[in-house]
Structure 1
Amino acid sequence: MSRMWNPMLETMDRADLRALQVDRFREQVRHAYDHSPFYRRKLDAAGIDPDGIQTFEDVRAVPTTKKGELREAQGGEPFPYGDLLAASPEGVTEYHQTSGTTGEPVRQADSWSDWEWWGDCWATVLWAQGIRPDDRVFFPFSYNVFVAFWAAHYACERIGAEVVPGGNLSSAQRVRKMREIDVTAFASTPTYALRLAEVAREEGFEPTDFAVDTVVCAGEPGASVPGTKARIEEAWGADVYDHAGATEAGAWGFSCDGESVGLHLNEAQFLIEVLDEDGEPVDPGETGEIVITPLNRTAQPYIRFELRDEIGLREGAAVCDCGRTFRFAEGGVLGRLDDLTKVNGVLLAPTAIEDAVRSYDGVSDEYEVIIDDHEEKPDLDVVTVVAEENPETDVSADEASEELRKTLKQTTSITCRIDVVPYESLERPELKADRLDDRRENHV
């Protein structure tokens, strides 16, 4: 049985793949121009003729799309999608929306053909991560209006795997259900994967005794953060995989069963550019922002959408031993550009703190980061990392504090205050965790 959902596309010669991307990009721009008033206006203002797009240089002449533009467009008529829609209202079969954590949610319309495309993108992810027809896959939360795990659910059905929804159950009930019916795989955020393991132990179970052999993570970078990935693997005795996607884009990145740590970019379904601050493509080994175009999405297309995710690129035959020719984001999503913050002139990435905390077994899984003004020197910032004691070790709070302080200084160049508190002092998130609390009065 092949390791790939679509071997032809996933191993395509790079030159052929790039030619396919340009052709599909041109078709997508033409469709958006012909059917979306928003994009006709935007492309006309930039002097873009869709049929003139023949090379990657032509692609970069097309203006990017920012999330703020989407919100502004949807604030107008016709409700609820404004003039973004590139299909008739009768052609829309799926409604979803973004979480709204950075502003008003963006409403997302998809047609049935779009939904089939979503399923294919997610099937590519899940097949690469070992999900097969004989798996029993558990989804331990309510899907609500958010697209990701609706699409993953549908992809499991396309693969032929058995799907077990766990929406209205408590965490304890979910753990017992997983144990009762021998779930072999589950999908969740990294935060909740660790929380479920903790709840299992509270219920008197050892997670490594479950039938779970695959954990599919999404929604946070953790499964590509070495310290977090190792904790989930150890907790469940299972293989842990990462996925990256967005409501506006789709399931664009996935880890596989190969040896490399990071994400394959699904270049058969997306044109993914990685650009520097000047909008120029970065070289392999450099990092940049993702600008993404879904290549087979019609009801509400996105042309060169600024995703605000940062990745570092690798490409070539040595990228991964799985055989895929897609470019590779080493280390997965390095962070949200909106989440990066300067502390005393030093750029701080939350994932750097996550890896340091999770790589040290002297503290438990939960932590939070507080950034505040210095009490006596308001022009200076103070970073406090609050972590919990690990009841499974005999490491003292003082010893843990000193070890984390040294590690964080080495990895972030920032001297942090460390506050190690008793186990179970911190809140247990049930989905995503917002661990950064920036309290600075004059922070921009």
Structure 2
Amino acid sequence: MTTLASNYWNPYLETMAPEELRRLQLEKFQRIIAWAYERSPFYRELYSQAGLEPGDIKTWQDVRRVPTVDKGMLKSAQEAQPFPYGSRLCVPLEQVAEFRQTSGTTGTPVYQADTWQDWEWWSECWSYILWAQGYRATDRVFIPFGYNIFVAFWAGHYAAEKLGCEVVPGGVLDTASRVLKIKELQATALMGTPTYMLNMADVAKNRLGIDPAGLAIKRITCAGEPGASLPSTKKRMEEAWGAKVFDHAGATEIGAWSYECTAQCGGIHANEGMFLVEIEDPMTGEIIEEPGRKGKMIITALDRLAQPCLRFDSKDIIEWAAEPCPCGRTYRIIKGGVQGRADDITKVKGVLLSPSAIEEVVRGFDELADEYEVVVERIGDNDKITLKVEFNPGAQATEQEVLGRLKDQLRLKTNLGYQIEVHPLGSLTRYEVKARRFKDTRHLH
């Protein structure tokens, strides 16, 4: 079997001196670009057109000369042979051990092949995540998602086993049955999207009469949405479940590239032993090294073999934190986690709007229920934003008072005005995986 020797099995990666870690990253980048150039027609053509060969990559400035790729390019590459992965594949088909695909919410999904070594790498990445969040062999981990062709929490499942945890797969159960199973088995940990964690808590309390904070859950690992790094959403989940909530970010075509640790310093660690994370100014293309400047993430998976991910334009908006994490890890901190996506940020009435800014405001109102929806539409020559909300029962303030404060906060945080509609509790769409609360219909006209 064709393999690439790797040194990610290093227990000291997280505490390496920064200069030593940078040397390791450069070595790994040189190795993976040579691997991709030699074995993938897609990457060889891309780099040849740019006048680059692997031997040209000697410094960090050379790394920045390497062309970026995006999801559209990956989709085009898979139209070639071999089916279904195309010209990005770097190993014979018989060495592919795992199939996954992206969710396909933006069109044709990206098909992702992994060798068994890749899958071990996935598990190792997630082991760092779970260990940093306090998972130990004494945990009983309930994973409430439909096991499918999306990567979702598959690797989290195997990493929990690797750490010695007991894993309970929640597969085909409905939400109520999952809550009851969590109670029956006294599960201590959960994994899921922020949306579904709030949905489960709502079902437990309002349909089953079970207070989720009274269950045995101690920690929850979230992924798939930026909510777990938004203070108001994190607060809601932690109060609902009586547990600590931790964020994580990853993607099918990239890997599990970041995690929040128990220090919870207001950001997530970039898993720099296994990934090269760069932040690019979307206007100038400059690589941002200093803290406090937002840009889009360009990321390289340094150890993935079957379909390497090299300088991938993820569209995720991130920024470096100014201070290191007090946990002692030397991996840099991404302040506030993933703050949105470059392709989600849209201009409304001449103002740049990020959906996560709306979520932060709405989730800061205890009087409002967890679910909401935003619709942007074109009325004549003008844009209209409608925010649909639900009220929790027993709110102390009047509806008029809450809506007045809500409009003021939205204007303050987003510089826009909103038409607010109040809907009956439970009437808005509930989501089990990634939510689709922001709906821009202007392109339909």
Equivalent in 334, 354, 360 of residue 355 of structure 1: 360
Once the two structures are TM-superposed, the CA of residue 138 in structure 1 deviates from its matched residue by: 0.7
Q: Name 1:164's counterpart in structure 2.
A: 168
Q: How many Å separate the matches in 2 of 1:36 and 1:147? A: 23
Within 5 A, what are the aligned runs for 1:332-411? 332-374=337-379, 378-411=380-413
Map Cα deviations across residues 176-210 of structure 1 (whole Å, 9 max, x no partner).
Answer: 00000000000000000001001111201111110
Equivalent in 64, 67, 73 of residue 63 of structure 1: 67
What code does the residue aligned with 2:20 have?
D
Q: How many Å separate the matches in 2 of 1:73 and 1:323? A: 41
Equivalent in 242, 250, 265 of residue 260 of structure 1: 265
392-401 vs 382-391, greater mean Cα deviation: 392-401
258-267 vs 433-442, greater mean Cα deviation: 433-442
Equivalent in 19, 42, 59 of residue 38 of structure 1: 42
SS of residue in 2 equivalent to 1:313? coil
SS of residue in 1 equivalent to 2:442? coil
Give the TM-score, by structure 1 length.
Answer: 0.96
Equivalent in 309, 316, 325 of residue 316 of structure 2: 309
Map Cα deviations across residues 401-443 of structure 1 (whole Å, 9 max, x no partner).
Answer: 1111011001111111211222112121122210011122578
What code does the residue aligned with 1:102 have?
T
275-284 vs 24-33, greater mean Cα deviation: 275-284
Q: Name 1:104's counterpart in structure 2.
A: 108
Q: How many Å separate the matches in 1 of 2:43 and 2:60? A: 20
Residue 238 (structure 1) aligned with residue 249 (structure 2): no
Once the two structures are TM-superposed, the CA of residue 32 in structure 1 deviates from its matched residue by: 0.3
Map Cα deviations across residues 43-90 of structure 1 (whole Å, 9 max, x no partner).
Answer: 111111212212110100111111111111111222111111000111
Q: Name 1:435's counterpart in structure 2.
A: 437
Residue 280 (structure 1) aligned with residue 286 (structure 2): yes
- The answer to whether the 8 A contact 1:117-1:297 is kept is yes
Change (3 A) 1:441 1:48: closer
Q: Name 2:6's counterpart in structure 1.
A: none
- The answer to whether the 8 A contact 1:290-1:308 is kept is yes
Change (3 A) 1:75 1:337: same
Q: How many Å separate the matches in 1 of 2:248 and 2:294? A: 19
Q: How many Å separate the matches in 2 of 1:356 and 1:177? A: 33
Q: How many Å separate the matches in 2 of 1:431 and 1:198? A: 15
Once the two structures are TM-superposed, the CA of residue 121 in structure 1 deviates from its matched residue by: 0.4
Q: Name 1:226's counterpart in structure 2.
A: 231
Once the two structures are TM-superposed, the CA of residue 319 in structure 1 deviates from its matched residue by: 2.4
- The answer to whether the 8 A contact 1:400-1:420 is kept is no
What code does the residue aligned with 1:268 have?
G
What code does the residue aligned with 1:429 have?
Y
Q: How many Å separate the matches in 1 of 2:397 and 2:343? A: 35
What code does the residue aligned with 2:103 have?
S
Q: Name 1:414's counterpart in structure 2.
A: 416
Q: Name 2:119's counterpart in structure 1.
A: 115
Q: Name 1:203's counterpart in structure 2.
A: 208
Q: How many Å separate the matches in 2 of 1:354 and 1:392? A: 22
Give the TM-score, by structure 2 length.
Answer: 0.95
Once the two structures are TM-superposed, the CA of residue 396 in structure 1 deviates from its matched residue by: 3.0
What code does the residue aligned with 1:295 have?
L
Once the two structures are TM-superposed, the CA of residue 398 in structure 1 deviates from its matched residue by: 2.0
Unaligned runs of at least 5 residues, structure 2: 1-8
Q: How many Å separate the matches in 1 of 2:10 and 2:28? A: 18
SS of residue in 2 equivalent to 1:193? helix
Q: How many Å separate the matches in 2 of 1:112 and 1:296? A: 13
Residue 290 (structure 1) aligned with residue 297 (structure 2): yes
Q: How many Å separate the matches in 2 of 1:293 and 1:66? A: 12
SS of residue in 1 equivalent to 2:310? coil
SS of residue in 2 equivalent to 1:402? helix
SS of residue in 2 equivalent to 1:123? helix
Q: How many Å separate the matches in 2 of 1:303 and 1:343? A: 34
Q: How many Å separate the matches in 2 of 1:43 and 1:240? A: 42
Equivalent in 191, 195, 198 of residue 191 of structure 1: 195
Q: Name 1:179's counterpart in structure 2.
A: 183
Q: How many Å separate the matches in 2 of 1:395 and 1:422? A: 17
57-66 vs 5-14, greater mean Cα deviation: 5-14
Q: How many Å separate the matches in 2 of 1:147 and 1:251? A: 10
- The answer to whether the 8 A contact 1:269-1:295 is kept is yes
SS of residue in 2 equivalent to 1:179? helix
What code does the residue aligned with 1:167 have?
G
SS of residue in 1 equivalent to 2:258? strand
Q: How many Å separate the matches in 1 of 2:337 and 2:120? A: 26
Q: How many Å separate the matches in 2 of 1:79 and 1:136? A: 40
Q: How many Å separate the matches in 2 of 1:424 and 1:394? A: 20
Q: Name 1:28's counterpart in structure 2.
A: 32
Q: Which runs of 4+ in 1 moved over 3 A?
A: none
- The answer to whether the 8 A contact 1:227-1:359 is kept is yes
Map Cα deviations across residues 364-401 of structure 1 (whole Å, 9 max, x no partner).
Answer: 10100011123xxx332111111101114233332221
- The count of aligned residue pairs is 434
Q: How many Å separate the matches in 2 of 1:441 and 1:266? A: 38
SS of residue in 1 equivalent to 2:202? helix
Equivalent in 334, 337, 344 of residue 329 of structure 1: 334
Q: How many Å separate the matches in 2 of 1:372 and 1:66? A: 29
Superposition RMSD in Å: 1.3
